[in-house]
Amino acid sequence: MNESAAGAAGGDQPVLEAVGVSQHFTGKSSTGHRTKIKAVRNVSLRLFRRQIIAIVGESGSGKTTLARLFSLLHQPTEGEIRFQGVPVDRSRRGRSAYYAEVQLIFQDPFGSLNQLKPLRHIIGRAVRLHTEARSRSAVRERVHEALEKVSLTPAEDYAERYPSDLSGGQRQRVAIARALSMNPAVLLADEPTSMLDASIRLDVLNLLRDLRDQESLAMLYITHDIASARYLSDLIAVMYGGEIVEQAPTEELVAAPLHPYTRLLLESAPNPEHYKDNGAAGAGSLDDEDEAEPVDVAVDLPGCRFAARCPQAMNLCADRNPPLVDVGGRSVACWLHLTDDARPNRHEGVP
């Protein structure tokens, strides 16, 4: 991976890191045979403090499985997840310590909040579980502070409300406030705006961006929507077929995408000016029903996994999967960007 790009927004020590992680499952192929599904293949990623990395890809790309590996919901088949340079301890105590530092924000703010309790209870419970605050006044203070950070003010008033009293955008703010109440180092946000109205998506993205700056948070933002990734992130990692196929600082990647799949994603994305105006997302994205094309990660093809859809595919692409290599300070996995010397067979299928 491109370490220099990854470290551009933060310090030298990554706060969260995937080191050569793979996740294999056993499933059924399209012919009904049991087969090994390689949902994530040898992915390395380094996230630094005050940095937002967007992991972008369509359904089946492996981005959600990668998010689950970072969430400790799966144990990697190969490789490891490290927090502040140390492999994560998966014991009960170790996981509890990890979740105090790495907080998750889900797609569905309604489903992730207890509808029967007021916000002071929902956020207060997280404070009691994961911080030193014990007295009623100390917990109340943390709850109010968290609500203020997400602009749900006056905090005393919102603390007494129930999730059902709130709009979708306000519920997502509560989910973020609950995460913040534990003073985490990292937010792991899995499609946090996909269930919100277009008009309030931008509010939530702006809030996340402000939190990066004001709280020095690091963030992994998982999305199918490259337009929102462009709006929010410092660095984009594009996934296809379980692998990172391109990774670069956001503006560099958008200005000059190297991988044909990144180009396809960008061509399908809404105009960023339109996005800024009203938070619209998804229009023309590859997850739209009529555009979606499932990625068959179950089949371990020998060649580039994008070859069947790639307008620039060469003979070589059907035989060998390109490695992720550094190209001018960025990372890309495509034979088009490897020099002839680096290709396995200089005379095979080179245009």
What does the binding site for ligand SF4 look like in residue numbers (CB under 6 A)? 259-260, 304, 306-307, 310, 312-314, 317, 322, 334-336
**Distance between CA atoms of residues 180 and 177, nearest Å:** 5
| CB-nearer residue toward ligand SF4: 118 or 323 | 323
The nearest distance, CB 305 to ligand SF4, in angstroms, is 8
| CB-nearer residue toward ligand SF4: 70 or 306 | 306
Q: Are 6 and 55 in contact (CB under 8 A)?
A: no
Token pair 């992680």 in the structure block, residue: 21
| CB-nearer residue toward ligand SF4: 150 or 313 | 313
The nearest distance, CB 265 to ligand SF4, in angstroms, is 13
**Distance between CA atoms of residues 46 and 1, nearest Å:** 9
Query: Within its chain, how far is the Cα of 234 from the centroid?
Result: 12
The SS3 call for residue 213 is helix
**Distance between CA atoms of residues 247 and 153, nearest Å:** 39
Tell me which H or E stretch contains 281: none
**Distance between CA atoms of residues 95 and 38, nearest Å:** 25
The nearest distance, CB 45 to ligand SF4, in angstroms, is 20
| CB-nearer residue toward ligand SF4: 171 or 259 | 259
| CB-nearer residue toward ligand SF4: 126 or 248 | 248
The nearest distance, CB 301 to ligand SF4, in angstroms, is 11
The count of other CB atoms within 10 Å of the CB of residue 129 is 11
The nearest distance, CB 309 to ligand SF4, in angstroms, is 8
